[in-house]
Chain A
């Protein structure tokens, strides 16, 4: 029997990228909040610059709850699903502890894929089988919240479009922003300068990408030290804007946030009317019930969907907020694979730096170029960054120029370990009818509960984008002097990924979406959902900034409508 705890206004499940942000406006607005987190607090002392531990042995993901309930994966409904790894981590701050911290806004086109494609090229250009919808609002609606997050958590970058005025130092394709970033962009290296020059020689528009990383002292946190262990590593000087060092401590300072660590939430409870009443969680084998007037689910896409599907009740026999059968639908995993690797005839001096420190080109992203004569919609962001560590460097491709071991190999890496670069190409990915999440019929976690099963593969539109942007990337590398190019395959099965979307999609139509335009359930009115599970399109850029802006907006909506949503006069 679960121990019943003291009532609270709001319980937030997950103190990561989005839960960690939402608690700030909620507590500053006067609400009492309990934040439940499966992991623990980590500090600067935990973030050693240790390639073996961080990058090869999968710390800090390896010992986490998320890893013990990693999704199973299969390409389609007739294949057997196999459990793989889990790239996300538990901990106060969640994956914002070890992420790359690229902090992009989406392009305005990403909000209006259906209507804009139809207007410019005709409705027939929407890929067959795609369930894509326009977002229920446009970029302009989210702009104030993007701005809020940039200043509240600290984002560095170079503006490209301030209220319609184009600044050629920034991204000329970005949606209009109201003001500059609070900090200048991360610095470039000689190699990045060279790549930028090569892009300009092609007539493209290179610019530094936005990062959730300080470039000067900001809000009492240090600027970046560029030491090279940001990738799958936490920050040893708190320059990275993890919610553990930004919004969560400020929410705690209000006295209205209680963070409970090592809490694994097992179900969301519901009353006879279909309203949620709180959550049940387990810690140290003990079960607790945390009653709340409003529940906000803020774990990762896989866990958000799983928790809803596992929370069955009389009102919701197929899982919470799933009476329309939409929980788990419209799933997509960002097409981040299909990279391009180049070999140069000179050292790149890339031993230090970080993956958010780089040069971007958006000429071939979204609908920034004419697709009339192309056989796909959308595009990709080209990203060249400075990031290298010794084991990874020594494990480089030999491009068929040398053996993979022995004296010949040793001579090759002695010369070339600092001469290769791999581009990161993020591509528009759409939802399709037959890509979805559900509960695995066989694989269970240590508590005996089914894990999520991913059924998904990248379709023709996404594979065509991949081949197209690989061509562009190869052109760019060659313009900078590359002598060898290797391309990864254009993609098949969607793996468990750091960029998962959908499963509780946001939209006005309750028949095809789980949450409304504010992020609250169409079915259980006091259930909010935060995170990329509400997103219906990926765009060609990292999701964190968008989901934090959405989280702030959902929290603000709750504050403004507390009486109606919580059914309480306050």
Chain B
């Protein structure tokens, strides 16, 4: 049953489930928030919070990752954040594959961050008020977290992975219900953009299509879990622009 809560819900899934249980999910076409989706998937009225089964992070690590990500990309008046996007699930899965080289950095960095929260604010990170959590993260970002060597690079790593989970293709476990793409106005993966589509985009008339690359069955699925040797998910030095990781190809 728990698993049923936790699947990546594709538009196809939602429409299928919606067909089975009623019209709740199609009341607002293309806009289905996470809680609603879980209600739909689980059957009406059982939207109780359930812990996900993580593959690589321990439960304690996952709680910390989730709490950090929630401060990096908060749920606020601008809409859903890292929590709704399931950034923690993206990171958990990636740590068994493309980001495997970062597993040890999480194992060492998370307790170090929690110890710093304890020493600086008298409580563990999870017990702190949001403003104090931000103060802890800010100290890490600046490399000023006493007793936490490597805090700045740990912070930068978690921030990069959080953005990947928020704005990456939902195929990899994050960006649930396309909340990341909707936040920034990305109208979605397409395999064809005609001149008319471009004109519609420029006239604010191109609606988000809410599709993952792998919703198109013309593509062989990427190996999300197999570690790719020699790269470890880090951009190689030199051939990426420092601004925004642009590849200087040809």
Contact = CB atoms under 8 A, between A and B. Distances in A.
B105 to A, nearest CB: 17
A404 interface: yes
A253 interface: no
A58 interface: yes
A226 B197 CA distance: 10
B230 A390 contact: no
A345 to B, nearest CB: 16
B238 A339 contact: no
Given A225-B193, A341-B243, A417 B185 contact: yes
A50 B159 CA distance: 20
Contacts of A51: 168-169
Contacts of A2: none
B13 to A, nearest CB: 20
Interface in A111-162: none
A232 B168 contact: no
A414 interface: yes
B242 to A, nearest CB: 6
A65 to B, nearest CB: 10
B180 A407 contact: no
A107 interface: no
Contacts of B250: 95, 99-102, 498-499, 542-544
B222 interface: yes
B126 interface: no
A355 interface: yes
Contacts of A422: 241, 243-244, 246
Interface in A312-341: 336-337, 339, 341
Contacts, number: 232
Contact of A394 (B74, B78, B180, B202): B180
A73 B245 CA distance: 20
A510 B159 CA distance: 54
Interface in A75-90: 84-87
Contacts of A411: 78
A344 to B, nearest CB: 14
Contacts of B231: 57-58, 61-62, 67, 85
Contacts of A68: 230
Nearest to B194: A226
Contacts of A337: 241, 248
Given A59-B222, A417-B184, A352 B193 contact: yes
Interface string B206-233: 0000000110101111100000111101
B104 interface: no
A405 B159 contact: yes
A163 interface: no
A397 B197 contact: no
Contacts of A62: 228-231
Given A57-B231, A390-B180, A397 B192 contact: no
Given A56-B245, A67-B231, A85-B238, A406 B134 contact: yes
Given A45-B220, A410-B81, A542-B250, A394 B245 contact: no
A488 B239 contact: no
A306 interface: no
B181 interface: yes
A337 B98 CA distance: 28
B90 to A, nearest CB: 9
A349 B193 CA distance: 13
B166 interface: yes
A101 B250 CA distance: 6
Tell me if B's interface is mostly helix, strand, loop or mixed: loop
A299 to B, nearest CB: 16
Contact of B74 (A67, A225, A410, A499): A410
A355 B186 contact: no
Given A390-B180, A395-B163, A227 B236 contact: no
A397 B244 contact: yes
Given A57-B228, A397-B243, A49 B237 contact: no
Contacts of A542: 250
Given A52-B168, A56-B164, A45 B198 contact: no
B249 A413 contact: no
A44 B141 CA distance: 42
B189 interface: yes
A68 B73 CA distance: 36
Contacts of A102: 250
Interface in A34-69: 44-53, 55-59, 61-63, 67-68
A488 B241 CA distance: 9
Interface in A233-251: 236-237
Scoring A73, A237, A339 by chain B CB atoms within 10 A of each residue's CB, the highest score goes to A339
Contact of B201 (A70, A349, A395, A498): A349
Interface of B: 71-74, 76, 78-79, 81, 98, 134, 137, 141, 159-160, 163-164, 166-169, 171-172, 180-181, 183-187, 189-195, 197-198, 201-202, 213-214, 216, 218-222, 228-231, 233, 235-239, 241-250
17 contacts: A48-B214, A48-B219, A50-B169, A56-B164, A56-B245, A57-B233, A62-B228, A337-B248, A347-B185, A349-B198, A391-B168, A405-B159, A410-B81, A417-B184, A417-B186, A422-B246, A495-B238
Q: Which 9 A-B pairs have the closest CB atoms?
A: A85-B236, A495-B238, A417-B184, A99-B250, A48-B219, A62-B231, A87-B239, A84-B237, A352-B193
